[in-house]
Structure 1
Amino acid sequence: MEIGEDYRDAVLPQSRWEKRKFVRCDFTEADLRGLVTQGCTFEECDFTRTDLGESKHDSTAFRSCVFDRTVLAEITWTGCSLLGSSFVDCRLRKIKVRETDFTLVSLGRADLRQCELSGLRFREANLVEANLSGARLRDTDLRAARLLGTDLSETDLRGAKLDADALVQAKFTGARVDLDTAIAFAAAHGLIISS
């Protein structure tokens, strides 16, 4: 276990880390492009301005980490947990995410257009003013997520779990939903449904 280690400005591209644990480590401005992690844990680590582009993470946890202006282009997360982490002004283009938990994550104003986010957990996540237009969110758990001003236009939300607050706070123009969500949306907007 590494606690409080200083990796600022480290140049470690294409590294492979397995079953390592980092607690309160500083990776500010480190070059970690192409990093591969397997079963690692990062707790309260700082990835400000870190280059994590093209990195791959399998069964890795990033708990309460800070990603501020971090390069995350073409990153892959598989079976990961990002519990309580915050993302500010990050490049999230062409990310690949499967079976990953975004519970309590802060992604306010994030650009996640056209991303494949189906089946993920975003419970209690901050997605205020995020752009998710055209994203695939099938079977995604968005319960208790903050979606004020979130752009969900043209998204695929079939099977997604949404609260009534989300149904009145987000923008849903052209979104594809299932019948249950359509009825909940109508009820949230004050319509009375009768036969």
Structure 2
Amino acid sequence: MSEPVTGAITGRTYSGEDWYGDELVDAVYAGCTFSDVDLTEATTRNVVFRECTFHNCRFNSSTHVSTAFIAADFRRCNFFDATLEGCKLDGSVFAECTMRPMKVLGGSWRSVTLRGAHLGGLDLSGLDLRESDLSMSDLTATVLREAKLDGATVRETTLVNADLRGASLAGVDLREASLKDTRLDLPGAVHLAEIYGAVVEP
């Protein structure tokens, strides 16, 4: 079980700990390392993890509300059936993580690195993914309606059957992605036509 947190905890290492079902509220962790920590069914609310490292951690069926993972490093973590509501993950890096199924309700994932991630079928509507790196990720049938994708990198990204209606796409080179049956609204279709060199006139 996790210890009660008062004030900010800085530079601490947690290894092999059992935080199953724990509730963390208004806590601050900075520069901490979490290795093989079990956070299954844990709940965090208004917690800040700043520049923390998470290796081989289990977030299965956990719930995170208005929690911030700023510039965090996630490696080989499992988010199976996790819920992220209004969370900020700006600048975080995910590598070899299980991220589906997962429920994402808004939030900011600006400049997040999700290279090679399997995000197929997730509903990421309204999510702020500006300047994110989605290279080689699988977004098959992913819902990205009203998402902010400005400046995102989509090199070799699979967007087959993805829903991009209402998404902002400024600076996104969709020619680098795999598109088939991808759903676009009129502004998105115009953007795609223009990057292929078409002149769109009213």
Q: Same fold (TM over 0.5)?
A: yes
Question: Between Structure 1 and Structure 2, which shows a larger proportion of strand residues?
Answer: 2
Q: 5 Å matches for 1:59-70?
A: 59-70=66-77
SS at match of 2:84: strand
* Aligned counterpart for 2:24 among listed residues 2, 14, 17: 17
Q: Do structure 1's residue 58 and structure 2's residue 70 form an aligned pair?
A: no
> Unaligned 5+ residue runs, structure 1?
none
User: Separation in 1 of the partners of 2:127 and 2:200?
Assistant: 31
TM-score, normalization by structure 2: 0.93
SS at match of 1:80: strand
Q: Do structure 1's residue 95 and structure 2's residue 122 form an aligned pair?
A: no
Task: Tell me if structure 2 keeps the 8 A contact 1:4–1:24.
Answer: yes
Task: Tell me if structure 1 keeps the 8 A contact 2:152–2:171.
Answer: no
User: Separation in 2 of the partners of 1:112 and 1:94?
Assistant: 8
Q: Do structure 1's residue 180 and structure 2's residue 161 form an aligned pair?
A: no
- Give a deviation string over 1:131-156, Cα, whole Å, max 9, x none: 00101100000001111111111011
* Aligned counterpart for 1:44 among listed residues 37, 51, 57: 51
- The Cα of 1:16 is off from its aligned counterpart by 0.3
* Corresponding residue pairs, total: 195
- Residue type of the partner of 1:80? C
Task: Tell me if structure 2 keeps the 8 A contact 1:164–1:185.
Answer: no
Q: 5 Å matches for 1:97-136?
A: 97-136=104-143
How big is the alpha-carbon RMSD for the aligned residues of Structure 1 and Structure 2? Answer: 1.1
* % identical aligned pairs: 32
TM-score, normalization by structure 1: 0.97
- The Cα of 1:167 is off from its aligned counterpart by 2.0
User: Separation in 1 of the partners of 2:90 and 2:201?
Assistant: 41
- Give a deviation string over 1:30-66, Cα, whole Å, max 9, x none: 1111110010000111111101111100010000111
- Residue type of the partner of 2:55? T
Q: 5 Å matches for 1:24-43?
A: 24-43=31-50
- Give a deviation string over 1:78-113, Cα, whole Å, max 9, x none: 011001010001001110001211101000000000
Q: 5 Å matches for 1:131-150?
A: 131-150=138-157
Task: Tell me if structure 2 keeps the 8 A contact 1:164–1:188.
Answer: no
User: Separation in 1 of the partners of 2:27 and 2:19?
Assistant: 15
Query: 1:171 matched to which residue of 2?
Result: 178
Query: 1:158 matched to which residue of 2?
Result: 165
Task: Tell me if structure 2 keeps the 8 A contact 1:13–1:31.
Answer: yes
User: Separation in 2 of the partners of 1:136 and 1:128?
Assistant: 17
- The Cα of 1:166 is off from its aligned counterpart by 2.3
